[in-house]
Amino acid sequence: MNTADLGLPVDVPSTALFTDQYEFTMLQAALRAGTADRRSVFEVFTRRLPEGRRYGVVAGTGRVMDAVENFRFDAGVLGFLREHAIVDEPTLEWLASYRFTGDVWGYPEGEVYFPGSPILRVEGSFAECVLLETVILSILNHDSAIAAAASRMAAAAGGRPLIEMGARRTHELSAVASSRAAYVGGFTSTSDLAAGFRYGIPTVGTSAHAFTLLHDSERDAFQAQVASLGSGTTLLVDTYDVAEAVRTAVEVAGTDLGAVRIDSGDLLLVAHRVRQQLDELGATRTRIVVTSDLDEYAIASLAAAPVDAYGVGTQLVTGSGHPTCSMVYKLVARAASADPKAPLQPVAKKSTGGKTSIGGRKWAARRADAHGVAEAEVVGTGPVPPELAGRQLQVELVKGGEVVAREPLDDVRERHIAARGALPMSAVQLSRGEPVIPTEYA
Amino acid sequence: MNTADLGLPVDVPSTALFTDQYEFTMLQAALRAGTADRRSVFEVFTRRLPEGRRYGVVAGTGRVMDAVENFRFDAGVLGFLREHAIVDEPTLEWLASYRFTGDVWGYPEGEVYFPGSPILRVEGSFAECVLLETVILSILNHDSAIAAAASRMAAAAGGRPLIEMGARRTHELSAVASSRAAYVGGFTSTSDLAAGFRYGIPTVGTSAHAFTLLHDSERDAFQAQVASLGSGTTLLVDTYDVAEAVRTAVEVAGTDLGAVRIDSGDLLLVAHRVRQQLDELGATRTRIVVTSDLDEYAIASLAAAPVDAYGVGTQLVTGSGHPTCSMVYKLVARAASADPKAPLQPVAKKSTGGKTSIGGRKWAARRADAHGVAEAEVVGTGPVPPELAGRQLQVELVKGGEVVAREPLDDVRERHIAARGALPMSAVQLSRGEPVIPTEYA
């Protein structure tokens, strides 16, 4: 594959401008100072989870690998950098042949994470690594925020299907990445056709209120829809009067009617009434789909209601209150000279103010108790203790500039279910709390 | 122009898949029922502003016009729809020649809006209009949310420059649109090179903590940066000890040092100390840039501090607590037959549950008092009262499928400043409140 994974039905030649200008000015200054070739290790981690959240979900890793592979400089990009005098000629020359040649290790996509987890590690020369900061963080911070919300919603939904339908509430390409992240987090399908096109996520959708309003009567609209989509379709029953619409729906489609959708009102109450009415009409297998500003709490509150599927929009694509993660990309070690054999020295910001970090290249392992339940995220910089060697979390993603870890999205989804399932049960309670396992520094 | 405006340095052949599946299934059913050609009016509006906000900001209109123009079906898109059996063959045939041929009127970009404001009006056949729902809402809901946050921050900053630096906290293309929306809302520049490339927004950036940590000492790092970027550069002074860094910075760069940046700690306190130190060192013209999880409240709290520019990231690209707007796209009128001369009839959802709306094609005007200060948003469906004829808000954007209202982003930015300036003063107070003017229905 040779296309940056933006979720577009089009080739994107380069991701090199999804970059903050300071990465280029640092490059230029380091090239001139002779420090650009110092071997360096950057790590992505977060100092905290969003308030009250019990775990994070790594998502976007697959997109990061594509972005790294497609980070290069064609004539158009170089022309822009030259024309706006963003870097000097020697730097432009250096950029013209840029390809990332280093290594990337990280938590596999779908894995859970905690404060301090070294989610991604990028190693190479300072010059080649420093340029990747923004594009890597954009992808991971966005996609992981959506996946975390999706995971909570999926846990709240139990086994009931979840439909992602938030495209209209976020940027058109953020929407595509959101569908992908929602699928990783446990959603079942999406309304977004671009996500179906790009990622093969199952797509669904039948009709809106506009379709009912277009026709001379609700009956006309239902007849038109059933004639076109069959009796297995989902009829939207809350344009005028719900009880009347349900009666009309079953008259028009018969008791084989696939589903009805309720998009407003007191969903708990209306779902019960509609279920009873459908059963009385003999449409006992007709399902009930609810949509209307749902979040994980609303989903959980409907657990006892006769609801067969949830459609979630706004709260999914906005991360249910936490639309971004606070992942940072920090230099944690570097050589003191450009000699490739020079040893790495840990480095870290030291000033006061809460933004300090721990230097050194880190390993991570998740310690489990005798029952296999996770009990701590262990992060260290020295040798890995033998008892944790088999529980390490980081895998090789890019080796010498080549992506080595592409995988199907369904594998990622399965991994997330397994990783979440190995956490203490309280991880999936919706009550606010601390991270469900502590992070220990070895 | 013939490229959808996604903020990409690449041509996007079509926006047709940024669409929820139900738009296609409604199209198919309406084609079959013979109702697809009924003349229809859809309107974009919002039932409420985000809690506590006093006004909204229309942004993304320019991107919407491009999206409408580029909404068409090439072989790849049609192949996807066929392969996944999303629509039938007659519908695919209809789509193959799709071009929007209708009219779009709307609030000009940069204008402010209130609950019920008919922000955009799309008129044509049901078939051609219904397909545009998702892509229009994606753009307007995202871009307007960012612009609203930007506008509040710009008001709080007074005349001080605002740098948009949130790319790392949101999807890589959402970031580009965010830079654009931030500029509309009053920001001065961006760190995001893709936004500079795509929209010509001024870009800025110098260095991160990694650059200091790469070098053997802070002095080495400052020397490297000044050698490369000149003494007018901005040195980051909070990697180790701020006071020592400021001293070193002025020693290295001289009193011509352009600026220092503070990215952590108690910004109010540190800014005062740094200003005093710079002045004592003779660097009286060296500016102070602060960055560190700023929002409009933090910016306002620094009004009395010796701060010369603000860099804003997370809170800007997440809409400062409101990452999306609640704009909807509703059928408000349609003809009762496919006859192009058939009169339009108002339609509206009627069920209980808070999602009702007002039918009919609407005009809007902003009534002002004797001093020219806005006093009401007036929305109506009948004839426009003569006294409001000169104060109408909607302009023609697309006429018979042709975009007629492209304009430079600087004009949009100026329009926003003027529109906000004509609101009552309390609009730009940060305290929570009701919309600063009421919406009246004529």
Size of interface A-B (CB pairs under 8 A): 372
Q: Which residues of B touch A197 (CB under 8 A)?
A: 17, 77, 80
Q: Which residues of B touch A192 (CB under 8 A)?
A: 18-20, 134
Distance to chain B for A364, nearest Cα, Å: 23
Q: Are B225 and B239 in contact (CB under 8 A)?
A: no
- Looking at residue B20, the DSSP 8-state letter turns out to be B
Distance to chain B for A280, nearest Cα, Å: 23
- pLDDT-derived band at A1 (thresholds 50, 70, 90) equals very low
A residues 54-73 lying closer than 8 A (beta carbon) to B: 67
What crossing angle do the helices spanning B89-96 and B75-83 adopt, rounded to 10°? Answer: 170
Among the partner residues B84, B214, B228, nearest to A40 by beta-carbon distance: B214
- Looking at residue A108, the DSSP 8-state letter turns out to be P
Among the partner residues A171, A266, A314, nearest to B174 by beta-carbon distance: A171
What contacts B275, CB < 8 A, 6 or more positions away?
B288, B306
Q: Say how far apart CA B314 and CA B311 lie, in whole Å.
A: 10
pLDDT tens digits for range A131-170: 999 999 999 999 999 999 999 999 999 999 999 999 999 9
- pLDDT-derived band at A73 (thresholds 50, 70, 90) equals very high
% of chain A at pLDDT higher than 70 = 96
Distance to chain B for A60, nearest Cα, Å: 10
Cβ <8 Å between B142 and A174: yes
Q: Say how far apart CA B60 and CA B139 lie, in whole Å.
A: 6
A133 touches chain B (CB under 8 A): yes
Q: Which residues of B touch A225 (CB under 8 A)?
A: 25, 29
Which parts of chain B register pLDDT below 50? 1-3
Cβ <8 Å between A11 and B10: yes
Among the partner residues A10, A205, A264, nearest to B20 by beta-carbon distance: A205
Cβ <8 Å between A215 and B355: no
Q: How far is CA B159 from the centre of its chain?
A: 20
Instruction: Residue count of chain A, please give it.
Output: 442
Cβ <8 Å between A331 and B213: yes
Cβ <8 Å between A210 and B42: yes
Among the partner residues B84, B238, B334, nearest to A214 by beta-carbon distance: B334
Q: Please name the residue that has the structure tokens 């009829």.
A: A235
Structure tokens at B257: 């040092």
> Could you tell me which CATH class the domain B160-320 is placed in?
alpha beta
User: Which CATH number applies to A206-307: 3.40.50.2000, 3.30.930.10, 3.20.20.70, 3.10.20.340?
Assistant: 3.20.20.70
Q: Which residues of B touch A216 (CB under 8 A)?
A: 336
Sheet with B309-312, side-by-side order of all strands: B189-190, B162-164, B309-312, B287-291, B259-262, B234-236
Residue type, A240: Y
pLDDT of residue A357: 77
Distance to chain B for A34, nearest Cα, Å: 9
Q: Say how far apart CA B136 and CA B138 lie, in whole Å.
A: 6
Cβ <8 Å between A349 and B213: yes
- Looking at residue A231, the DSSP 8-state letter turns out to be T
B426 touches chain A (CB under 8 A): no
pLDDT of residue A350: 82
Q: Please name the residue that has the structure tokens 């003349």.
A: B39
Distance to chain A for B167, nearest Cα, Å: 6
Percent helix / strand / coil, chain B, rounded to 5: 40, 20, 40
3-state secondary structure of A373: coil
Q: Are A294 and A324 in contact (CB under 8 A)?
A: no
pLDDT greater than 90 at residue A36: yes
What Rg, from alpha-carbon coordinates, does chain A have?
25
Task: Tell me the pairing of strands B56-57 and B112-113.
Answer: antiparallel
Query: Where do the CATH 3.20.20.70 domains begin and end in chain B?
Result: 160-320
A277 touches chain B (CB under 8 A): no
Q: Say how far apart CA B60 and CA B177 lie, in whole Å.
A: 8
Among the partner residues B169, B206, B324, nearest to A22 by beta-carbon distance: B206
pLDDT greater than 90 at residue A6: no
* Buried/exposed code over A238-265 (b: 16+ C-beta within 10 A; e: otherwise): bbbebeebbbbbbebbeeebbbbbbbbb
Mean pLDDT of chain A: 95
In chain A, the residue whose alpha carbon lies closest to the alpha carbon of B210 is A331
How wide is the angle at C-alpha B265 spanned by C-alphas B274 and B277, nearest 5°?
10
3-state secondary structure of A345: strand
Q: Which residues of B touch A19 (CB under 8 A)?
A: 167, 192-194
Q: Which residues of B touch A329 (CB under 8 A)?
A: 168
pLDDT greater than 70 at residue A345: yes
pLDDT tens digits for range A394-438: 999 999 999 999 999 999 999 999 999 999 999 998 988 999 999
B42 touches chain A (CB under 8 A): yes
Q: Are B54 and B435 in contact (CB under 8 A)?
A: yes
pLDDT of residue A82: 97
3-state secondary structure of B115: coil
Among the partner residues B142, B194, B263, nearest to A17 by beta-carbon distance: B194
B39 touches chain A (CB under 8 A): no
Distance to chain A for B50, nearest Cα, Å: 13
Q: Which residues of A touch B289 (CB under 8 A)?
A: none
Query: Where do the CATH 3.20.20.70 domains begin and end in chain A?
Result: 206-307
In chain B, the residue whose alpha carbon lies closest to the alpha carbon of A172 is B138
B47 touches chain A (CB under 8 A): no
How wide is the angle at C-alpha A294 spanned by C-alphas A293 and A299, nearest 5°?
160
HSE toward the beta carbon, residue A21, CA cutoff 13 A: 26
In chain B, the residue whose alpha carbon lies closest to the alpha carbon of A32 is B228
B197 touches chain A (CB under 8 A): yes
B residues 280-299 lying closer than 8 A (beta carbon) to A: 292
Q: Please name the residue that has the structure tokens 């039918």.
A: B359
Q: Region A168-176: what's the mean pLDDT? A: 96
CATH of domain B21-145+322-441: 3.20.140.10
CA distances for B350 relative to A17, A265, B133, angstroms? 48, 12, 20
How wide is the angle at C-alpha A227 spanned by C-alphas B31 and B347, nearest 5°?
60
Q: Which residues of B touch A266 (CB under 8 A)?
A: 353
Q: Say how far apart CA A426 and CA B68 lie, in whole Å.
A: 47
Q: Are A377 and A119 in contact (CB under 8 A)?
A: no
CA distances for A292 relative to A130, A262, A312, B9, B178, angstroms? 43, 8, 7, 37, 27
ipTM associated with this complex: 0.96
Cβ <8 Å between A172 and B67: yes
Q: Which residues of B touch A204 (CB under 8 A)?
A: 21
Q: How many CB atoms lie within 10 A of CB A69?
A: 20
pLDDT of residue B356: 64
Best of A171, A328, A357 to disrupt the B interface (most B CBs within 10 Å) is A171
In chain B, the residue whose alpha carbon lies closest to the alpha carbon of A191 is B20
In chain A, the residue whose alpha carbon lies closest to the alpha carbon of B168 is A138
pLDDT tens digits for range A359-390: 999 999 999 999 999 999 999 999 999 999 99
Query: Where do the CATH 3.20.140.10 domains begin and end in chain B?
Result: 21-145+322-441
pLDDT of residue A3: 45
B194 touches chain A (CB under 8 A): yes
Q: Which of B294, B244, B309, B243 is nearest to B270 (CA)?
A: B243
Q: Which of B44, B134, B412, B95 is nearest to A167 (CA)?
A: B134
Q: Which of A98, A106, A104, A109 is nearest to A131 (CA)?
A: A98
Q: Region A31-53: what's the mean pLDDT? A: 97
Q: Say how far apart CA A118 and CA A439 lie, in whole Å.
A: 11
B381 touches chain A (CB under 8 A): no
